[in-house]
């Protein structure tokens, strides 16, 4: 039996899985391989995609209009404030995904197929790390959503507010009828579909950063293994030259992937910075507003805050790992065993250039100026709290 894609290329399997989820949510094909299907299937999917996107835009517009309502309860105003800022930023990520779709496809194809790392077990550790980040994010988000639903049910029994997860302009809590109830169901469907899209885009971005970081780690390990292979004086210069050139090519492939993940997903990182600062401030305001009067709302706000911190920290730490792993390569190249081999002038020049090339820091940025790093993560948390303190 032929090995499955999950066994043969686990990174490709999980990236493709996320792209398939986005595809079925109506966002089109972000995967570099074409979807197979009949003309009828393509027409039906096109119709579904148009409907899903237009429907999503209308619901968000309906949600923004809810700010002019004068009959909102304090809890509804609290929820609306978060949704008004949160959902448009998530929509911006979707737009970036549409605009950069071809560049994202090219990046995935080269990273997952054309330039797979030859170091054993590197993929296994990369997938474990990516799954860890994604599962932690999904777990905390699921807890926040569960508590949100519990709070909505509680509001229905205590205040008579119809069970809902989004606050919209129409229908209001006083509207009744079959059409109104059907519309409420569609609004709930939109909320959960939006959550799936948001989580999938974030997981796609996180997996890309994790796999990129391990790609640089694979280059470092390759040169370290080269040092073990040529750890004593030898005259086999041709074999060393061939192996060294292969390592340089692996490094160049990793640098290409770093440049292109920045070009294709850099705007998503930028939107995430804005989303994190804004929603962290709002979440802190919600926590203060809830106080001890509404324990359920307080716990909901706390889990939402933790979820935002985890999401932002995952982006920052994964990008910082890319920078860290890339900086280790220059030392690995210098100690790769070239001094034990009779190296000609041409190869010696190549070694010097490779070391110089690897000493250039690799940074992923937001807005082209904010470096994604551990220090930036702390800075964002401080900025959010400072902004909250000024507003409060």
* Bridge partner list, 263: none
Bin 177: left if φ > 0, else alpha if -120 < ψ < 50, else beta: left
Domain total for the chain? 1
Mean pLDDT for all residues in the chain: 86
End-to-end CA distance of the chain: 64
Q: Residue 163: pLDDT band by 50, 70, 90 thresholds?
A: confident
Q: What is the pLDDT of residue 324?
A: 94
Q: Residue 188: pLDDT band by 50, 70, 90 thresholds?
A: confident
Q: What is the pLDDT of residue 100?
A: 92
What DSSP string runs through 154-165?
A: HHHHHH-PPP-S
At 112-138, the pLDDT tens digits run 886 666 555 788 889 999 999 999 989
Mean pLDDT, range 347-362, rounded to an integer = 92
Q: What is the pLDDT of residue 255?
A: 95
Q: What is the pLDDT of residue 340?
A: 85
Q: What is the pLDDT of residue 3?
A: 60
> What does the CA dihedral 294, 308, 391, 290 come to, rounded to 10 degrees?
0
Cis? peptide before 171, omega within 30° of 0: yes
Mean pLDDT, range 144-169, rounded to an integer = 78
Specify if 337 maps to a domain: yes
Q: What is the CB neighbour count within 10 angstroms for residue 66? A: 20
Among candidate residues 194, 207, 255, 199, the one with its CA nearest the CA of residue 13: 207
Q: What is the pLDDT of residue 2?
A: 47
Residues spanned by the domain of 107 = 14-391
**Token pair of 218 as six digits:** 């694979």
Considering only residues 30 and 77, tell me which one the structure prediction assigns the higher pLDDT. Answer: 30
- Percent of all residues in the chain with a pLDDT value above 90, rounded to a whole number: 42
Specify if 197 maps to a domain: yes
Q: Residue 332: pLDDT band by 50, 70, 90 thresholds?
A: very high
**Pairing status of strand 365-366 against strand 370-371:** antiparallel
**Token pair of 88 as six digits:** 């448009």
Mean pLDDT, range 341-356, rounded to an integer = 87
Mean pLDDT, range 52-77, rounded to an integer = 87
Residue 1 reports pLDDT greater than 50: no
Specify if 303 maps to a domain: yes
Among candidate residues 375, 279, 311, 366, the one with its CA nearest the CA of residue 87: 279
Q: Is 157 exposed, middle or buried (0-12, 13-18, 19+ CB in 10 A)?
A: exposed
Residues counted in the chain = 392
Specify if 1 maps to a domain: no
Specify if 3 maps to a domain: no
Rounded to two decimals, the pTM is 0.91
Instruction: Outline where DSSP puts E strands in the chain.
Output: 365-366, 370-371
Specify if 2 maps to a domain: no
Mean pLDDT, range 368-382, rounded to an integer = 88
From 211-215, 226-230, 349-353, 385-389, the region with the lowest mean pLDDT:
385-389
Specify if 226 maps to a domain: yes
H/E element, 176: none
From 23-32, 170-179, 307-316, the region with the lowest mean pLDDT:
170-179
At 239-282, the pLDDT tens digits run 888 899 999 999 999 999 999 999 999 999 889 888 888 888 88
From 151-160, 304-313, 314-323, the region with the lowest mean pLDDT:
151-160
- Percent of all residues in the chain with a pLDDT value above 70, rounded to a whole number: 93
Specify if 9 maps to a domain: no
How many Å apart are CA 315 and CA 203, to the nearest integer?
10
Instruction: Give the number of C-alpha atoms closer than 13 A to the C-alpha of residue 55, restricted to the C-beta side.
Output: 18
Q: What is the pLDDT of residue 239?
A: 86
Relative orientation angle of helices 178-229 and 39-65, to the nearest 10 degrees: 110
């Amino acid at each position: 039996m032929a090995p499955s894609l999950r066994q043969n290329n686990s990174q490709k399997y999980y990236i493709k899985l996320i792209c398939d989820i986005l595809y079925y949510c109506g966002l089109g094909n972000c995967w570099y391989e074409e979807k197979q299907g009949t003309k009828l299937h393509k027409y039906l999917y096109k119709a579904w995609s148009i409907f899903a996107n237009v429907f999503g835009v209308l619901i968000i517009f309906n949600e923004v209009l809810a700010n002019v309502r004068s009959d909102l309860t304090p809890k509804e105003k609290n929820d609306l404030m978060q949704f008004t800022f949160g959902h448009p930023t998530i929509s911006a990520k979707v737009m970036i995904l549409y605009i950069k779709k071809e560049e994202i496809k090219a990046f995935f194809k080269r990273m997952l197929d054309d330039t797979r790392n030859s170091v054993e077990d590197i993929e296994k550790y990369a997938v474990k790390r990516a799954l860890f980040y994604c599962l932690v994010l999904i777990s905390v988000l699921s807890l926040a959503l569960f508590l949100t639903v519990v709070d909505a049910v509680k509001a229905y029994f205590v205040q008579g507010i119809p069970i809902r997860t989004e606050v919209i302009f129409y229908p209001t809590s006083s509207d009744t009828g079959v059409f109104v109830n059907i519309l409420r169901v569609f609004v709930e469907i939109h909320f959960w579909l939006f959550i799936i899209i948001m989580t999938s885009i974030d997981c796609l971005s996180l997996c890309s950063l994790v796999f990129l970081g391990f790609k640089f780690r694979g280059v470092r390990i390759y040169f370290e293994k080269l040092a073990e292979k040529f750890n004593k004086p030898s005259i086999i210069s041709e074999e060393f030259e061939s192996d060294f050139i292969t390592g340089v090519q692996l490094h160049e492939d990793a640098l290409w992937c770093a440049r292109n993940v920045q070009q294709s997903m850099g705007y998503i990182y930028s939107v995430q910075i804005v989303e994190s600062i804004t929603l962290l401030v709002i979440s802190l305001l919600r926590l203060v507003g809830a106080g001890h009067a509404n324990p359920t709302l307080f716990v909901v706000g706390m889990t939402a805050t933790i979820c935002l911190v985890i999401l932002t920290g995952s982006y920052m730490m994964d990008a910082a790992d890319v920078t860290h792993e890339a900086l280790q390569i220059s030392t690995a190249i210098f100690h790769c065993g070239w001094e034990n081999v009779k190296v000609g002038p041409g190869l010696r020049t190549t070694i010097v250039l490779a070391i110089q090339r690897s000493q250039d820091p690799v940074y992923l940025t937001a807005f082209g100026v904010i470096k994604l790093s551990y220090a930036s993560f702390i800075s964002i948390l401080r900025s959010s709290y400072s902004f909250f303190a000024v507003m409060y």
